[in-house]
Amino acid sequence: MPSAMPSAVPTYAPFTGTGLVDGPASGPAPASQLDIAGELLALLRDTTTEPRPDMQLEALTLAVAADLPVLLWGEPGIGKTAALTQLAENLDLPLTTVIASVHEPSDFSGLPVIGDDPAVQGVPMAPPDWAVRLVRAGRGLLFLDELSTAPPAVQAALLRLVLERRVGALQLPPDVRIVAAANPRSSAADGWELSAPLANRFVHLQWIHDQDVVVRGLGGTWPRATLPRLDAARLPEAVDLARRAVCGLLSARPALVHRLPSNETLPQTPSGGTPSGGAWPSPRSWEMTLRLIAFATAAGSSRDVLSLLVRGTVGDGPGLELLASLDRMDLPDPEVLLADPAAAVLPERGDLRQAVLDAVVAAVRKRPEKTRWDAAWTLLVGALETGAPDLVVVPATTLAALRRDDWDVPEAIERLAGVVSLSRRADQAAARVPSAARAGR
């Protein structure tokens, strides 16, 4: 009996996602699943940038342009690292990332290397490879990540790197910029307090997410980071303004020159936690502030951006005082206003308008003359017609007290008399309320 013919044995092609085939593969091999996955990842990474107003990004690029170390404070996962990566790409700077918490102090201070004759040549401190790469490139962006998880010994080793740009015996090039990132201690992995000396070397920026930026970025378009455009014609003016602002404040408030922070004075993060080491005023940080004011003025940056930078360098309290001083520096000269009161333009903001009116009255008190007294009344009438009436009550009362016996009362006083008397009646009524309450007890 003839033997049975062997049945056809199916053949299997290498796994390509196509499954079982009836014969040997022919033609070009189809792409593997990993290749297809790579194409999908490339499409997901294919994003673009656009010019978009972003105060955080503008403050960061301004500090980088001013060659000041920046420390970004923010919760995990809000894009601090991504922002630095995008900043390096847009500025065409090689990015070198160093995770501070996984390094030893010697990685920043240098490793001792014994040569042929240590007694003659000494023992040099060899720098790490990342520092050598920065020197070879001649430029770059050094990103010190997870700074708040670095132990105190590593923080001490970072002091010279951040301030002097030295790693061991190696001097980093002038075109290397330093930016660090940290999480608040409440959300940091095994976080440490940032030492006051190290904190004083940074411009501290609170990094928070913007919903519109995130949504548009996930859609494929992120804001573009560009260095500020400095107006060459405004450089002398910018330096003069910065020096007058800082020196004027510190002359009037000498206690602000140096104020070592305590645990109770550390700034608050947007999440409510206290960062481990914040900005505080010292001669070093005031010098940094002076530089930032000059750069912001030359770049025409907004007052909001300048506020982020100033408060992030000397702290909220001193920073707000400095910003108020800058506002007063922009106020018109009271002598100019008195010379032509009809053409005077007063500030819109109530506090600034009040300061101008007080300065005008003070100028009349310093040199009391009938023409100047009349001009001041004209200014007060203008302020009454273009702003809140209550702002003229105190200046009008003070100005009326400066009248000499031989000075005729101007007609302008009649227009202000109703406002002053109404204010006085309101004050008297307010004073009677507590008295009545006490009498009813």
- Residue where a domain terminates, one of 182, 202, 223: 223
Residue 141 is part of which domain span?
51-223
pLDDT band at 26 (very low <50, low <70, confident <90, very high): low
Angle at 284 between CA 278 and CA 288, to 5 degrees: 80
Tokens of 321: 């005082």
294-328 pLDDT per residue, tens: 999 999 999 999 999 999 999 999 999 999 889 88
What whole-number distance in Å separates Cα of residue 110 and Cα of residue 105?
8
- Residue where a domain terminates, one of 291, 312, 329: 329
The least confident of 55-59, 121-125, 155-159, 415-419 is 415-419
Residues 358 and 308 in one domain: no
Q: Which amino acid is at 432?
A: R
Angle at 232 between CA 227 and CA 234, to 5 degrees: 105
Tokens of 119: 């007694």
Tokens of 93: 């700077």
pLDDT band at 112 (very low <50, low <70, confident <90, very high): confident
Write the DSSP string, 275-311: PSS-----HHHHHHHHHHHHHHHHHT--HHHHHHHHH
Residues 206 and 85 in one domain: yes
**pLDDT at position 382 over 60:** yes
Q: Is 286 exposed, middle or buried (0-12, 13-18, 19+ CB in 10 A)?
A: buried
CATH of the domain at 122: 3.40.50.300
**pLDDT at position 91 over 60:** yes
User: Which residue did the predictor score with more confidence, 210 or 123?
Assistant: 210
- 165: in domain: yes
Residues 110 and 172 in one domain: yes
What whole-number distance in Å separates Cα of residue 433 and Cα of residue 439?
10
Number of domains forming the structure of the chain: 3
- 300: in domain: yes
What whole-number distance in Å separates Cα of residue 128 and Cα of residue 134?
10
Q: Which amino acid is at 97?
A: T
Return the closest-CA partner of residue 173 out of 142, 133, 138, 141. 138
- 5: in domain: no
What whole-number distance in Å separates Cα of residue 434 and Cα of residue 198?
52
Q: What are phi and psi of 370, to 5 degrees?
A: -60, -45
What whole-number distance in Å separates Cα of residue 174 and Cα of residue 197?
22
Tell me the average pLDDT of the chain.
Answer: 82
Residues 165 and 283 in one domain: no
- Residue where a domain terminates, one of 329, 361, 392: 329
Which stretches within 46-102 are classed as H helix? 55-65, 80-90
pLDDT computed for residue 198 by the predictor: 94
Q: At what angle do helices 303-314 and 283-299 cross, to 10 degrees?
A: 170
Angle at 296 between CA 69 and CA 212, to 5 degrees: 80
What whole-number distance in Å separates Cα of residue 398 and Cα of residue 401?
5
Residues 204 and 339 in one domain: no
Residues 303 and 339 in one domain: no
- 1: in domain: no
**pLDDT at position 273 over 90:** no
Q: Which residue's entry shows tokens 């000041």?
A: 68
The helix/strand/coil state of 182 is: strand
Tokens of 18: 């196509």
**Mean predicted confidence (pLDDT) in 174-195:** 82
CA gyration radius, the chain = 33
Residues 157 and 57 in one domain: yes
Return the closest-CA partner of residue 262 out of 282, 246, 277, 245. 277
The helix/strand/coil state of 432 is: helix
Question: Under 8 Å CB-to-CB from 258, ≥6 apart: which residues?
Answer: 281, 282, 283
Residues 127 and 67 in one domain: yes
Residues 361 and 323 in one domain: no
Q: Give the containing element (helix H, strand E) for 50.
A: strand 48-50
Residues 58 and 192 in one domain: yes
**pLDDT at position 8 over 80:** no
Q: Is 96 exposed, middle or buried (0-12, 13-18, 19+ CB in 10 A)?
A: middle
213, 52 contact by CB (below 8 A) = yes
| pLDDT winner (highest mean) among 46-50, 142-146, 381-385 | 142-146
- 45: in domain: no
Return the closest-CA partner of residue 205 out of 131, 313, 284. 313
**pLDDT at position 16 over 50:** no
- 319: in domain: yes
115, 124 contact by CB (below 8 A) = yes
pLDDT band at 418 (very low <50, low <70, confident <90, very high): low
- 11: in domain: no
Q: pLDDT over 70 for what percent of the chain?
A: 81
- 35: in domain: no
Residues 322 and 195 in one domain: no
Residues 185 and 212 in one domain: yes
242-251 pLDDT per residue, tens: 999 999 899 8
pLDDT computed for residue 429 by the predictor: 42
**pLDDT at position 268 over 50:** no
**pLDDT at position 203 over 50:** yes
pLDDT computed for residue 306 by the predictor: 96
The least confident of 13-22, 218-227, 254-263 is 13-22
What separation, in Å, do the N-terminal and C-terminal C-alpha atoms of the chain show? 127
